[in-house]
């Protein structure tokens, strides 16, 4: 039998037992044949893969159309308009109510971590940037603190500046900017790193990314250290 | 199962597929409701089940099946429904829904096996997509749908066995040239 036909039958599972033997023999003895078989086998996989993807897309398109398939046009138009209005109303309502709840959760749980790096002594004459930064932080002048922390971090690369800057940002409800700093801080290992997950979780709560927040809170609980009780309570509120 | 339904699935002509898909969709969603799953879950399952049904058609499994397309499709769907219920078991009580009786629908197990392509196959795929539409169609009928040369003649506009053969080998030749270059 011709090689091509043999491969063809092999691909479609139609070899007789006699042909299967011949196929096997050729595969062992003839490298060119082996190469050819491998090409066809690969091609089969590829074409099947492509065909599956196309079919899945076709089905997805059909499914999409089901929402638009309405029988009676003249009044369904109104119906559609009404449902859209309702939908908007509902999404607005749901969003705002959700916003309140995550915002509330954030507000109830967040407070900037206290200054443990540079305890401020009132009589301290040494008004260096570091002292000024933490003084601003303690006084609640977060904008000033943030710019000083930024400067100090670029100069010293001390990881705790990341942590405090993130805290200040969170206080100013700039969670989006705080997240990259906290993630960066997590990569370092200072005494504060253990606390970072908690603040990162709160940042995600602020951004309504509940799933990410929950994962982090679980970590906090598992660590059994800083804020693990609060984290557990928060998780329960999510359920 | 009726030959023409199997054929429609294998050939996957969009018009025929659309008829079969929409024809069974509402009944399935109705059927699935009693298991307490949401509309979204059920329409996801319906899509998956329909895709699985076509796979069974192509692999030749349906040729020996006695039940109708609808019953078989529902059987796959039911399998998937139970699968999902098991997954959700931790959060909801699914025991109760297992007692829903519908002896008419026999479960059809379905294994989801999607293999990732190797690097070599990815490359081959880019070549395949560069082929003309006719060639892609021809190779799809042969390699993916598992049609024999004779069946291709029967189901398509190709007039004879030899035309199909020469077209197929031309396509393969083009593909091999792309690989070489």
For B65-118, how does the pLDDT look when each residue is reduced to its tens digit (9 = 90+)? 999 999 999 999 999 999 898 888 755 555 555 555 565 788 888 777 767 888
A140 and A197 share one domain: yes
Does residue A94 lie in a domain region?
no
Angstrom distances, CA of residue A87 to CA of A63, A97, B147, B165 = 20, 15, 48, 56
CATH number at residue A180: 1.25.40.10
Q: Tell me how far apart the alpha carbons of residues A224 and A206 are, in angstroms, rounded to a whole number.
A: 23
In the listed set A31, A66, A101, which residue is the last one of a domain according to the structure? A66
A233 and A122 share one domain: yes
Does residue A186 lie in a domain region?
yes
Q: Tell me how far apart the alpha carbons of residues B55 and B59 are, in angstroms, rounded to a whole number.
A: 6
Does residue A77 lie in a domain region?
no
Domains contained in chain B, CATH given: 3-98 (1.10.1740), 119-180 (1.10.10)
Pairwise CB contact (< 8 Å): A12 & B148: yes
**pLDDT value at position A85?**
72
Q: Which domain holds residue A178?
A: 110-238
Residue of chain A with shortest Cα separation from B123: A46
List the structure tokens of B105: 């629908």
| 8 Å CB contact between A143 and A172 | yes
- Rounded (5°) CA angle A80-A99-A229: 140
pLDDT in tens, chain A (239 residues): 688 889 989 998 889 999 999 999 999 999 999 999 999 999 999 999 999 999 999 999 999 888 644 444 455 666 777 777 777 666 655 555 454 477 788 888 888 888 888 777 655 555 688 888 998 898 888 988 999 999 999 988 889 999 999 999 999 889 999 999 999 998 888 778 888 999 999 999 888 888 888 888 888 888 887 888 888 888 887 76
- Across chain B, mean pLDDT equals 88
Q: Tell me how far apart the alpha carbons of residues A22 and A236 are, in angstroms, rounded to a whole number.
A: 67
Does residue A84 lie in a domain region?
no
* Mean pLDDT lowest among A112-121, B15-24, B120-129: A112-121
Whether the CB of B148 is below 8 Å from some CB of chain A: the reply is: yes
Number of domains in chain A: 2
A116 and A222 share one domain: yes
Q: Tell me how far apart the alpha carbons of residues B104 and A164 are, in angstroms, rounded to a whole number.
A: 65
More confident residue, B160 or A235: B160
Whether the CB of A176 is below 8 Å from some CB of chain B: the reply is: no
Whether the CB of A187 is below 8 Å from some CB of chain B: the reply is: no
B120 to chain A: which residues are within 8 Å by CB?
42
**Packing angle between helix A142-156 and helix A129-139, nearest 10 degrees?**
150
Of B50, B115, B139, the CB nearest to A47: B139
B117 to chain A: which residues are within 8 Å by CB?
45-46, 49
| Res. B134: pLDDT tops 50 | yes
| B44, burial (CB in 10 Å: exposed 0-12, middle 13-18, buried 19+) | middle
Among all chains, which residue has been given the structure tokens 């035309």? B163
| B35, burial (CB in 10 Å: exposed 0-12, middle 13-18, buried 19+) | buried
Q: Model-level pTM?
A: 0.57
Does residue A212 lie in a domain region?
yes
Whether the CB of A46 is below 8 Å from some CB of chain B: the reply is: yes
A115 and A52 share one domain: no
Q: Tell me how far apart the alpha carbons of residues A116 and A138 are, in angstroms, rounded to a whole number.
A: 11
Among all chains, which residue has been given the structure tokens 């060119």? A32
Pairwise CB contact (< 8 Å): A48 & B143: yes
A55 to chain B: which residues are within 8 Å by CB?
12, 51, 54
**pLDDT value at position A75?**
59
**pLDDT value at position A69?**
46
Q: Tell me how far apart the alpha carbons of residues B170 and B154 are, in angstroms, rounded to a whole number.
A: 20
φ, ψ dihedrals at A45, nearest 5°:
-55, -45
ipTM of the complex: 0.91
Whether the CB of B123 is below 8 Å from some CB of chain A: the reply is: no
In the listed set A66, A85, A120, which residue is the last one of a domain according to the structure? A66
With a CB-CB cutoff of 8 Å, which residues 53-82 of chain A face chain B?
55-56, 58-60, 62-63, 66, 69
The set of residues, in sequence order, having a beta carbon less than 8 Å from that of B179 and lying 6+ positions away, is A39, B124, B127
In the listed set A33, A66, A99, which residue is the last one of a domain according to the structure? A66
Does residue A73 lie in a domain region?
no
| 8 Å CB contact between B135 and B108 | no
List the structure tokens of A71: 């029988």
Does residue A98 lie in a domain region?
no
Hey, is A144 helix, strand or coil? helix
**pLDDT value at position A121?**
65
**pLDDT value at position B103?**
59
Angstrom distances, CA of residue B46 to CA of A56, B79, B92, B171 = 12, 11, 21, 36
A128 and A37 share one domain: no
| 8 Å CB contact between A208 and A98 | yes
Does residue A24 lie in a domain region?
yes
Q: How far is A39 from chain B (nearest CA, A)?
A: 9
Q: Tell me how far apart the alpha carbons of residues B94 and B80 are, in angstroms, rounded to a whole number.
A: 14
SS3 content of chain A, % helix, strand, coil (to 5): 80, 0, 20
A51 to chain B: which residues are within 8 Å by CB?
12, 140, 144-145
A118 and A217 share one domain: yes
Q: How far apart are the first and last CA of chain B?
A: 47
Q: Tell me how far apart the alpha carbons of residues B179 and B176 are, in angstroms, rounded to a whole number.
A: 5
């Amino acid at each position: 039998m011709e090689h091509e036909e043999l491969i063809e039958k092999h691909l479609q599972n139609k070899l007789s037992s006699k042909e299967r033997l011949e196929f096997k023999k050729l595969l062992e003895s003839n490298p060119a044949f082996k190469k050819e078989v491998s090409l066809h086998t690969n091609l089969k996989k590829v074409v099947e893969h492509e065909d599956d993807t196309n079919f899945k897309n076709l089905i997805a398109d059909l499914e999409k159309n089901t929402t638009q398939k309405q029988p009676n046009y003249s009044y369904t138009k109104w119906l559609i308009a009404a449902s859209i209005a309702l939908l908007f109303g509902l999404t607005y309502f749901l969003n705002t109510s959700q916003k309140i709840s995550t915002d509330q959760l954030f507000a109830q749980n967040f407070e900037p971590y206290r200054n443990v790096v540079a305890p401020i002594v009132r009589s301290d004459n040494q008004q260096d940037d570091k002292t000024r930064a933490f003084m601003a932080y303690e006084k609640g002048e977060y904008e000033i603190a943030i710019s000083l922390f930024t400067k100090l971090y670029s100069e010293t690369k001390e990881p705790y500046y990341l942590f405090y800057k993130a805290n200040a940002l969170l206080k100013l409800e700039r969670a989006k900017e705080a997240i990259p700093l906290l993630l960066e801080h997590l990569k370092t290992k200072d005494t504060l790193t253990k606390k970072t997950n908690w603040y990162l979780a709160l940042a995600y709560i602020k951004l309504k990314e509940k799933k990410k927040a929950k994962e982090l809170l679980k970590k906090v609980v598992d660590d059994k250290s800083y804020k693990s009780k609060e984290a557990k309570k928060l998780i329960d509120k999510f359920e | 199962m009726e030959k023409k339904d199997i054929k429609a699935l294998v050939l996957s002509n969009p018009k025929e597929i659309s008829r079969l898909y929409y024809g069974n969709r509402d009944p399935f969603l109705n059927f699935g409701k009693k298991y307490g799953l949401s509309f979204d879950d059920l329409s996801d399952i319906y899509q998956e089940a329909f895709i699985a049904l076509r796979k069974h058609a192509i692999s030749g499994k349906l040729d020996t099946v006695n039940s109708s397309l609808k019953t078989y499709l529902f059987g796959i769907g039911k399998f998937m429904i139970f699968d999902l219920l098991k997954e959700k078991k931790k959060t909801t009580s699914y025991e109760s829904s297992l007692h829903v009786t519908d002896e008419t629908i026999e479960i059809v197990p379905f294994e989801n096996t999607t293999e990732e392509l190797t690097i070599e196959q990815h490359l081959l795929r880019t070549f395949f997509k560069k082929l003309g539409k006719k060639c892609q169609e021809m190779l799809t009928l042969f390699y993916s749908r598992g049609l024999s040369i004779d069946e291709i003649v029967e189901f398509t506009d190709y007039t004879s066995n030899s035309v199909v053969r020469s077209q197929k080998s031309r396509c393969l030749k083009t593909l091999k040239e792309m690989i070489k270059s």
